[in-house]
Structure 1
Amino acid sequence: MAVEPIGIITIALGLYCLVLGQDATIKAFVSLTLLGAAAAFVLGSSSVQPAHVFLMFVAVAAMRSKRPAAPLFDVLHFGQPGFWLACLVLYGGLSAYFLPRLFADATTIIPLGIPEQPLTGGVAPLGPVSSNLTQTVYLAADLVCFTLIVAIGSTLAGYRAIVIGLIAYATLNIVFALLDVVTGSIGAQDVLQFIRNAQYTFHDNDKVNGMKRIVGSWPEASAFAGTTLGALGFTATTWLCQRHSRWTGPLAVTSLMLIILSTSSAGLVAAPVGLAILYATAVWRSGIGPGSSHSATVAVLAPLLVLLAGLVILLQQDIFNTVHNYVDILILSKSTSSSGLTRGSWNTYGLQNFLDTFGLGVGLGTARTSSFPVALLSNVGVPGAFFFLMFAFTALGHGGAPARSYVADIRLAARNGCLCLLAGSMVVGPTVDLGLLFFILAGLAASRPATIEPTAPFLRLHASRDLPEPRGST
C-alpha cells in the first residue's frame, strides 16, 4: 500500500474537521467527492479516493454527535430506501463471488478495468476478475454514504450543512474546470498532477477539432460532464425555488456552459434531457404563490429564448456551420467512430451476458458496459435491477414536507440532481456504482429533518415554520 500526499492531506483535514464538528465534516466530505481522479491510497492496481477515506471521519462525526442516531437505522427498515439499497449491496456482493464461478465460460465478457480497446480486442470468457471486490467495496461505501447523509440530514442544521456542501461542490467543480483549461492552454498541466494520481486511464490532454477536452478534477471529459449534470440539476432547481439564489443561479449557468464546451458526447446528449426536467419543474412551480417568480420567468421566457437562438443559428451561416460541425463530431458521427463502435460493442456483450446467465447477471464488477441500465442487467441481472428501482422510487419519491418550504424545495433540487446524473449515466455508465454524489443527493432527497432546531439560532428558526430562510439568501 502506498500513501499519497493527497492522502495525508485528507487525513489531516478529517482530523481538523472532527474538532470543528459534524457540520464542518459533512461539508468537507461533499466537496471531496469532486476529486474523482485522485488517490489517497494506492493498493496494487486499485485506488482509494479521498472521499472514500473521508467517509470514515463522517461516520465518526455522526456517532459523536449529540443528535439522535435513530434515523441512521430507521432508513434501513423494510420498505425504506436504505433497505432496498442494502439488498442491492448484499445481492451484488454474493453475485460478485458466486456468479462468475457458477457461469464460468458460459458467456464472453468485456472485463471491467481494462483500458478502452478496439472493437476486436478486450473480450474474455466469463470468470472472476479483480474488480469484483473493488466494485463491491464501492457499492458498500455508497450504502454507508446514503445512510449517513439521511442521519445527518435529520436535523435542520445538518440538512443545511449538506446543502452548503453541495453548493461548494458546484463552485469547486467550476474552479477546477477553469484551471484545467488555463493550464492546458499554457502547457502547465503538471500543476494539477497532484489530483490526477489514481490508477486510471487519463484523457486530460485530448483535443477535439482543436478544442481541449475539459476534464477538471476527473479522468476524462465524459466523467466531468456527467457529474456536472448533477451540479446543474441541483443548483438550477435551487435557483428556481429562490433558495441561495445569489450563488445557485450563476453556478447553474456556468455549469451548463462547461457541459456544452467540454466536448463530451454524453454531456451534449444528456444536457437537453436535464434542461427538459428543469423546464418542467419551472412550469410546475410557476403558479401563484411565494417563491414562484424565477420559475414563472423561466416558464415564459425559455421557449422564446430557444426560438430566438434557433433563428440566429439558422440565419447566420458561419454560426450554423460552427454549431453543426461541433454537434456532428460529438453526436451525429459518434456512432461510426472507433470509440462509438467500441462502446456499442460493450453494450452488445453486456446484453448477451444478461441473456446467457438467465437474467441473474455475471456478477457485480465483472463486465464493462457503456450504459447504466445495461450495466445493471449484465452485472446484477433482474434481482439487482429490481432492488435499484425500488431504492430510487422510495428515496426520490419521499414527501411529507410542507409545500414550498425550504426542505421541500431542497428535496426537489436533490431529486432533479439525481435525475440529471441518471440521464448522463444512461449514455456512458460503465458500472453499477453511480458515484458518491448520486447517493449524497439521494440521501438529501430522502431525509426528514426535524421541524424545530432550537439549538441553532444562526438558522433563524421558528417553531411555526420548517426553515424560514428568506428566499434568495445565502
Structure 2
Amino acid sequence: MMLTFIGAIQVLLGLALFLIGSVEAMFGFMLVSAMFGGSAALTLPALGGSSIPPVQFALVFMALRLFVPGAGQMNAVGEAARANVYLVLFVLWGAVLAFIAPRIFAGQVDVTPLRGRTEARYISEKAYLYATRPLAPSPQNITTAVYMFGTLLAGIAAHVSSRTERGRATLVRTMAVVGMLHALIGFTSVAAKGTPIADVLNIFRNANYAQLDHSWKGFVRMTGIWPEASSYAAFAMTWFVFNFECWLRRVDGRFTGPAALLLAMALVFSTASTAYVGLPIYFAFVIMRMLLFPGAVTADRVLWIGAAVLILVVVACTVMLAQPSFADSFVGLIRRMTVEKQDSFSGLQRKFWAWQGIDAFLKTGGIGIGPGSFRSSSLATAVLGSTGILGAAALLTHFLFAFKPHRLSTYAPSQSLSLSTGAACAWAMLMGVLIASIAAPSCDPGTDFGILAGAALALRGRPVLATSLRWRVPAPQQVLSPA
C-alpha cells in the first residue's frame, strides 16, 4: 500500500476535521473529494496495481467521525442504516458473491475481465473486440466489494449529515462550488492543451486507470482531471441535474443557478456521448413534468430557461453564418458521438460487454457470478450478472424508496427546503442511474448514488404526509415563494 501526495493531503485534512471538525464539515470534505475522479489517494500493488480514489479514502475519516466512541452519532447511524436497509442487503449479498461465486462457477462462463487484457497480443481486431477468458477469482472481486461498502458508507454518511439544516446547506452549497470548479477545470483542460497548465492538471490524474486524451478533427475532448471524457461528463451530468433542480425549486439559487449554467455549458462542449444523450433525456423529463403537473416549473423559471435557449440559438446561428465549416464539424461530432456510436468499434465492444451480464445471469440460474468478475458497460446488466435477481431486487427497491415516485414533492416545488432539496437529490440520482445504465463497467452504483439516495431518504423521510402525499397543485403564491 502506497500513499500518494493527494492521500497525504487528505490525511492532514481528515485528521484535523476528526479532531476539531463537525460531522457536517467532514461531510463537506467527503463531497469535495468526489471531484477528483482521476486521482488516487492510495495505490495497492498487491491487488494488481489497484488504486483507491480520494472519495473512498475520505470515507475512512468519515467513518471515524461517525463510529468512534464518544462521537454521539450511533443513534443517527442506526437510523441511517434502517433507512438504507435495502442498500445494506445489496452490498452484503454482493460481498458474499464476490468471494464465493467466482469459485462456484469457475470455468463455466467466459468473461472479459474488469481490469487488464486477457492476452498480450491478439491475432485480429475481432479477437481483441470479443476477448474473454474463463471465469476465475481475481483481485477485482475484492476491490469491487470494497467499493460497494464505500457506496454504502457514503449513503449512511449522507443520511446522518443531511438530517440537520446545516448538513442540508453543506450538501447544496458544497456541490454548487464543486460543480463550478468541475466545469471550469474542464474548460481549462481544453484551452490549455499542450501547455504547462495541462501538465499541472495531469499531476492529479495519477490513478491506475487508462488516462485518455482523445481528440477528433481538431476538437479536444474535455476530461478535466478525470480519466476520460465520458466519466467527466457523467459526474457533470449528475450534479448539473442536482443544481438545476435546486435552482428550479429556489434552493440557494445564488449558488445553484451559476453552477447549473456552467455545468450545462461544460456538457454541451464536452464532446461526450454521455452528455449528448443525458441532456435531451433530462429535459424531456422536465417538459413532461410541466405538462402533467401545472406549476411544476414556475413562470419566472420558464422565462429564464426560454431566454437561455434563445441566446443559445442566436449564438449557434451566428457561428453557422461566420464559420460554416466549424458548425458542420461540430454537428458531425455530435452525430458521431450519438447515432453513429453504436456501430463504431467502441460501440460494438460495449454491446458485447453489456451482454455478458445477461449471459452470466442466465448461465447461473439468476444467482450471478460476483461483483468484479467481468467488465460491463451497463449498470443494469452488471447488477444482474454480478448479484443476480436478489441483488437487482434489493437495489431497485432502494432506488424506488429514495426516489419516491408517489410524492408530489418529487414533481412540483414545495415551501419546505428539506423536501425541495430531497427531490433534487432524487432526480440527480435518477439521471445518474440512467447514465450508468449505458456506461458503468461494474455493479457498484458509486458514491454519488450513495450520497444522493442517502440524502434523499433523510430529507424526505420525515412525517410530511399532510403536505407531500396529497396530489394537488400548489397555489401560485406558494410556488413563487422566495423559499
TM-score norm. by structure 2 comes to 0.84
Cα distance in 2 for residues equivalent to 1:296 and 1:160: 25
Residue 429, structure 1, aligned to residue 431, structure 2: no
Give the aligned partner of residue 468 of structure 2: none
Rate the CA distance shift 1:284–1:405 in 2: closer, same or farther, 3 A. Answer: farther
Give the aligned partner of residue 14 of structure 1: 14
Identify the match of residue 107 of structure 1 among 89, 106, 109: 109
Q: Secondary structure at the match of 2:374?
A: coil
Q: CA deviation at 1:384?
A: 1.1
Q: Which amino acid aligns with 1:129?
A: S
* Contact persistence 2:421–2:459 (CA under 8 A): no
Identify the match of residue 324 of structure 1 among 331, 334, 356: 331
Cα distance in 2 for residues equivalent to 1:187 and 1:320: 30
- Please, which runs of 5 or more residues in structure 1 have no aligned partner? 452-469
- Please, which runs of 5 or more residues in structure 2 have no aligned partner? 463-480
Deviates more, 1:56-65 or 1:405-414: 56-65
Q: State the number of aligned residues.
A: 448
Rate the CA distance shift 1:68–1:471 in 2: closer, same or farther, 3 A. Answer: farther
Identify the match of residue 94 of structure 1 among 88, 93, 96: 96
Give the aligned partner of residue 80 of structure 2: 75
Q: CA deviation at 1:278?
A: 3.5
Deviates more, 1:291-300 or 1:193-202: 291-300
Give the aligned partner of residue 51 of structure 2: 47
Give the aligned partner of residue 204 of structure 2: 195
Rate the CA distance shift 1:308–1:359 in 2: closer, same or farther, 3 A. Answer: farther
Q: Which amino acid aligns with 1:446?
A: L
Give the aligned partner of residue 360 of structure 2: 353
Q: Which amino acid aligns with 1:22?
A: V
Q: CA deviation at 1:115?
A: 5.4
Rate the CA distance shift 1:147–1:196 in 2: closer, same or farther, 3 A. Answer: same
Rate the CA distance shift 1:51–1:343 in 2: closer, same or farther, 3 A. Answer: same
Q: Which amino acid aligns with 2:23?
A: Q
Identify the match of residue 155 of structure 1 among 138, 155, 164: 164
Give the aligned partner of residue 3 of structure 1: 3
**1:8-32, Cα deviation, whole Å (9 max, x unpaired):** 1011111222323222221121011
Q: Secondary structure at the match of 1:47?
A: strand
Give the aligned partner of residue 474 of structure 2: none
Q: Secondary structure at the match of 1:197?
A: coil
Q: CA deviation at 1:344?
A: 1.6
Q: Secondary structure at the match of 2:266?
A: helix
Q: Secondary structure at the match of 1:234?
A: helix
Rate the CA distance shift 1:106–1:50 in 2: closer, same or farther, 3 A. Answer: same
* Contact persistence 1:274–1:423 (CA under 8 A): no
Q: Which amino acid aligns with 2:44?
A: L
Cα distance in 2 for residues equivalent to 1:49 and 1:93: 20
Q: CA deviation at 1:432?
A: 1.2
* Contact persistence 2:173–2:252 (CA under 8 A): no
* Contact persistence 1:239–1:294 (CA under 8 A): no
Give the aligned partner of residue 148 of structure 2: 139
Rate the CA distance shift 1:400–1:324 in 2: closer, same or farther, 3 A. Answer: closer
Q: How does 1:65-464 map to 2 (within 5 A)?
A: 69-77=74-82, 80=83, 82-114=84-116, 119-121=126-128, 122-186=131-195, 188-203=197-212, 205-281=213-289, 287=295, 292-297=298-303, 321-397=328-404, 403-448=414-459
Cα distance in 1 for residues equivalent to 2:255 and 2:209: 33
Q: Secondary structure at the match of 2:127?
A: coil
Rate the CA distance shift 1:282–1:253 in 2: closer, same or farther, 3 A. Answer: farther
Q: Which amino acid aligns with 1:105?
A: G
Q: CA deviation at 1:89?
A: 0.8
Cα distance in 2 for residues equivalent to 1:109 and 1:371: 15
Rate the CA distance shift 1:36–1:319 in 2: closer, same or farther, 3 A. Answer: closer
Cα distance in 2 for residues equivalent to 1:10 and 1:360: 39
Deviates more, 1:222-231 or 1:173-182: 173-182
Q: CA deviation at 1:389?
A: 0.2
Q: Which amino acid aligns with 1:70?
A: N
**1:295-347, Cα deviation, whole Å (9 max, x unpaired):** 44368778988998999999997676344312222122212222112112212
**1:92-116, Cα deviation, whole Å (9 max, x unpaired):** 0111111111112112111111259
Cα distance in 1 for residues equivalent to 2:294 and 2:310: 16
Deviates more, 1:173-182 or 1:419-428: 173-182
Residue 62, structure 1, aligned to residue 71, structure 2: no
Cα distance in 2 for residues equivalent to 1:134 and 1:324: 40
Q: CA deviation at 1:162?
A: 2.0
**1:53-77, Cα deviation, whole Å (9 max, x unpaired):** 2112222333578765423212333
TM-score norm. by structure 1 comes to 0.86
